Amino acid sequence: MIPFSIVMPTYNRRDTILRAISSVRAQRFTDWELIVVDDGSIDGTAEQLEGIDPRVRVIRQDNQGVAGARNTGLAATTGAHVAFLDSDDEWTPHHLALAHAFFQSHPDAQLYTSEFWEDFGHQQFAKHFRPEVGDWYPGTAQRIGSHAFDQPPPQGDPYLWFYQARSELEPWAHEALEGNPWTGGFLYRGHIFRGWRWGWLMALQPTVITRAAMEAVGPNDTSYRVASDFGYLANLCRRFPTHFVSLPGCIKHELGDGASALAESHLATGASAVQFNLDVLRFHEELFCQAAPDDPELAALRGFRHYLVAQAALDRGDHALALAHLDEAVKTYRGPEALRARLLSHAVTQPKLASLLWRGSRVSARLASRLRHAVGLQVRP
């Protein structure tokens, strides 16, 4: 059995897919198969891959959405382990070698992952999931009145708010990381499912699972058209301990080849951002709220997620949807930004004007925040 099967769904990614596949072919560990599922592209994506590598298989299908494309790829895998990569991202060269060394040294493990860095160009990166666990989720807790992060993180490490153990990378990792420019990572281990109430704790693209784990969690739920991977990953974490290396395994690009704008926007931030937030809200209710309907923290988080849907809807000019979710948001989330947005949406009934005013208010708030920060820096002793 081949060690790794890689599942890559794609749709209209002619401008990025060769970069993604090149990163697979550049892996130090070379025993793999790559299954590319072309989900109805109309830009010639699949034609670029003809004869590119005998280890690459291309499956073409009518458009079913990313969840359906991933399921097609999963059904075609033959490997002992299953890895994931999207066609607008790229792996770091050590990714498969490090995953292989990990599973060789931890034969009982089912779930491995690592950091997911976002490249904005000009050497500017967001190193997920450091900002989430160290800043965003504690900030969300303050906004909803939760005391979950009031105490300093164990050993001063925010990842340990979510993981139960941290260790130095042992000799099994050293050969895989030889010559690697990224240093200083740790191996974290723990049952992190509960932490998913706050949001994403890992990404699918640097994640590798065993075939047994794939069979246990089942296929992606295709009723979630955009954020199906949120539930897929959370359900993996509900069943198995997570093993996480705090070094980048995958780079997400905000630009296409040649630093050009992406031809097809990202699912989470582009034209499908509203549906993305609706999916995550629904997963939040399905995975957490239904099991604990009287949990005040979950109720407040539900309200906050309604606000995030409304925010995306206002950005897209969907006034009616925004208003419906703002009305739900303020029932359990009393953040001033939600109250202001609701007041604005009730007062201004013209969708385009409401969207314009909303965007203006967000720009003003960001500028005010930067000004306060700059003034604070100037007056520090």
Q: What is the pLDDT of residue 271?
A: 75
Please, what are the domains in the chain? 4-259 (3.90.550.10), 273-365 (no CATH)
Among the ranges given (99-108, 347-356, 360-369), the one the predictor scored with the smallest mean pLDDT: 360-369
Pairing of strands 125-128, 165-168: unpaired
The whole-chain average pLDDT of the chain stands at 90
> 142, 297 in Cβ contact below 8 A?
no
Q: Where residue 195 falls among pLDDT bands split at 50, 70, 90?
A: very high
Ramachandran quadrant class, 123 (left: phi over 0; alpha: psi -120 to 50; beta: rest): left
Q: What is the pLDDT of residues 15-47, one digit of tens each?
A: 899 999 999 999 999 999 999 999 999 999 989
pLDDT tops 70 at residue 260: no
Q: What is the pLDDT of residue 380?
A: 38
* Residues ≥6 apart with Cβ < 8 Å to 365: 337
The per-residue DSSP string of 288-347 comes to IITT-TT-HHHHHHHHHHHHHHHHHHHHHT-HHHHHHHHHHHHHH---HHHHHHHHHHHH
Model pTM? 0.90
Q: What's the rounded mean pLDDT across residues 195-206?
A: 98
How far, in Å, CA of 208 to CA of 294, rounded? 35
What would the two tokens of residue 82 be? Answer: 């299953």
CA distances from 69 to 10, 11, 223 (A): 8, 9, 13
